[in-house]
Amino acid sequence: MDAVPKFKIDTELSEEDFVRFNHVIVWQKKSTKRVIALFVAATILCFAAAIINHKFPAGGIGALVGTIYLLWLYTKGLEKRSVKFYHTNKLGGKAETCFFDDSLEIVGETSRSTWTYKELHSIIITKSDIYIRYSPAIALCFPKATCPEGFESFIEDLKQQYGI
């Protein structure tokens, strides 16, 4: 591209960034929250029924074990799978991301890619990071602490303008 970029940011996807991104994606899904809420409700109901009937709460213990397993699966289990995926697919690498008026360009060590903002999957802004997803499972991670001044407002404007 011959145009001058509005922002130019050097990035490197670390293992920690990738794990944090996966946590954001999983906890953003409504199905994750529904499943955990269902197991917690089942546990409470089973224990309440056992207390009322003065019987051994076998169902409650089973629901409690299931809830604990789900919480582990969505925290530590997810972290282990994310780390394995990161290393298996060699996702680390330095890249320079240039933001133009209508597109962004990523120049990596071995490749160059350009996406118009309309093609992006979504933009997620958290307390500590900005994620620009160009597919359901892959995103650019920009820690807010390292972003140039005005970048976050630029991204928020893009998010509103393109509905992403």
CATH (domain of 137): 2.30.29
Co-location of 112 and 126 in the same domain = yes
Region of 155 please: left (phi>0), alpha (psi -120 to 50) or beta: alpha
Co-location of 27 and 84 in the same domain = yes
Instruction: Divide the 164 residues of the chain into consecutive groups of 10 and give the mean pLDDT of each group.
Output: 80 77 73 75 76 68 75 76 75 83 86 89 89 80 88 92 87
Last residue of a domain, one of 30, 64, 88: 88
Looking at residue 113, its pLDDT comes to: 87
Query: Do the Cβ atoms of 95 and 15 come closer than 8 Å?
Result: no
Co-location of 123 and 147 in the same domain = yes
Looking at residue 1, its pLDDT comes to: 47
In a domain, 107, yes or no: yes
> What's the domain range around 153?
7-13+93-162
Q: Tokens 């998010």 identify what position?
A: 159
Last residue of a domain, one of 73, 88, 103: 88
Co-location of 150 and 118 in the same domain = yes
Question: How many domains does the structure of the chain reveal?
Answer: 2
